């Protein structure tokens, strides 16, 4: 059973204390909590997607750096072997890869910044959802207390009714 189905089981539509409290087109507390949970889950997936993309760029940058190191070693070996054309070709490819590495690192840095902003937004959203959940629980508790007071008052009225008739 998934998180959403468990959450929906806690707040089924049309049951509980907030049933019928919302008119058509308005959300019940359970529906609102479910939508907020879905928004948090969606945002978490977004953060995870950005994080995975950033990690992939890190891996690509490391691979590119290893290839550049190999080209540098190849250029040095070719130069020492007396083959300046091969050394020049290796250095030219090294320069092209260095530009690509710079672009890759700037993309990775942009993703890291986006990831940080998304994490901050997720933290704020989670705090707002927690606050809403506390408010919802408080409202439910107040409603239950009001219903209990009403039931007690009704019971007391029923008890007082026959006593007053006997006293007269």
Q: Does residue 152 fall inside a structural domain?
A: no
Q: Does residue 56 fall inside a structural domain?
A: yes
Q: Does residue 72 fall inside a structural domain?
A: yes
Q: Does residue 158 fall inside a structural domain?
A: no
Q: Does residue 47 fall inside a structural domain?
A: yes
User: With the CA atoms of 12, 27, 20 and 11 taken in that order, what torsion angle do they form, in degrees rounded to the nearest 10?
Assistant: 20
Task: Tell me the residue range of the domain where 100 lies.
Answer: 3-7+28-126
What is residue 120's predicted lDDT score, i.e. its pLDDT? 95
The C-alpha atoms of residue 118 and residue 56 are separated, in whole angstroms, by 18
Residue 103 confidence (pLDDT) above 80: yes
Share of the chain above pLDDT 90, in %: 70
Residue 79 confidence (pLDDT) above 70: yes
* Per-residue pLDDT tens digits for 21-40: 556 677 788 888 899 999 99
Q: Does residue 144 fall inside a structural domain?
A: no
For residues 98 and 68, is the Cβ–Cβ distance under 8 A?
A: yes
Contacts of 114 (CB under 8 A, 6+ apart): 50
């Amino acid at each position: 059973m998934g998180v959403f189905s468990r959450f929906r089981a806690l707040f089924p539509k049309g049951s509980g204390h907030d049933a019928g409290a919302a008119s058509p087109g308005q959300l019940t507390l359970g529906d609102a909590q479910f939508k907020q949970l879905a928004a948090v889950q969606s945002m978490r997936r977004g953060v995870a997607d950005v994080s995975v993309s950033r990690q992939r760029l890190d891996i690509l940058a490391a691979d590119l750096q290893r290839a550049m190191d190999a080209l540098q070693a190849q250029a040095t070996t070719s130069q020492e072997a007396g083959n300046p054309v091969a050394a020049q070709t290796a250095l030219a490819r090294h320069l092209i890869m260095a530009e690509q590495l710079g672009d890759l690192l700037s993309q990775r840095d942009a993703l890291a910044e986006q990831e940080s902003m998304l994490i901050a937004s997720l933290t704020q959203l989670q705090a707002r959802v927690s606050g809403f959940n506390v408010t919802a629980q408080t409202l439910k508790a107040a409603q239950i207390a009001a219903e209990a007071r009403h039931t007690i008052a009704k019971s007391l009225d029923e008890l007082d009714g026959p006593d007053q008739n006997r006293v007269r």
